Amino acid sequence: AQSVTQPDIHITVSEGASLELRCNYSYGATPYLFWYVQSPGQGLQLLLKYFSGDTLVQGIKGFEAEFKRSQSSFNLRKPSVHWSDAAEYFCAVDRGSTLGRLYFGRGTQLTVWP
Amino acid sequence: DSGVTQTPKHLITATGQRVTLRCSPRSGDLSVYWYQQSLDQGLQFLIQYYNGEERAKGNILERFSAQQFPDLHSELNLSSLELGDSALYFCASSVDVRVNEQFFGPGTRLTVL
């Protein structure tokens, strides 16, 4: 079965601390990978994407993610978290077929302490 | 602002009723996707249209239907509503049938009482 796993439902960090949000997927081939952020009452905003090439990708708002094929992971990182980063973060996968649909993880809620 | 618009923002209705959710994709995007976000199911893909034609179906109930019009806006019709249909419904668009980047609208929050 295809699945996207975000093992951490809720993470709390202090402002200025580093952050890593985990994402694992279970597909045979390398899919296309995405991280989205959802602020309260808002839609989903694309943070970054991986299609191919360099396995470390840079996104908006100072976020980066690293694709590790051997671990089927695509973890999101930020070296120094700001209070405005508090939101829900979703990892999403496209299998690379012609269908174009995204499979989403259940999300990780990030709380930032001042 | 993603450029994808959805109306209405909120919708409150009763069980058994029918509602229509509307989505306008970003200018130039031909592909429209509908997703449902609920607490128990998370974000689930419902259906995709490309340039007026249905391209992919996900976990969409038979009571739900969608279409994409010649001007590329899309409507999601939900009928015989049940309490469990209460959710946030997102529309997303992308340039073509391949996913590339999907840009999401702000969503329509449906409450069925």
The predicted-structure confidence for B40-86, as pLDDT tens digits, reads as follows 889 999 999 999 999 889 889 999 999 999 999 999 999 999 999 99
Whole-number Å distance between alpha carbons of B2 and A87: 17
Higher pLDDT, B97 or B26: B26
Q: Pick from A44, A49, A101: which is nearest to B56 by CB?
A: A101
pLDDT in tens, A28-45: 677 889 999 999 878 899
The DSSP symbol for B26 reads: P
CB contact under 8 A, B104 and A32: no
Contact B22, B107 (CB under 8 A): no
Instruction: Report in angstroms the alpha-carbon separations of B41 from B36, B38, B51.
Output: 9, 5, 29
Contact B26, B94 (CB under 8 A): no
Task: Give the model's pLDDT for residue A28.
Answer: 66
Query: Which of B99, B102, B103 is best to mutate for the A interface (most A CBs within 10 A)?
Result: B99
Higher pLDDT, A53 or B90: B90
Whole-number Å distance between alpha carbons of A19 and A28: 28
Mean pLDDT, chain A, rounded, equals 91
B19: amino acid identity, one letter: V
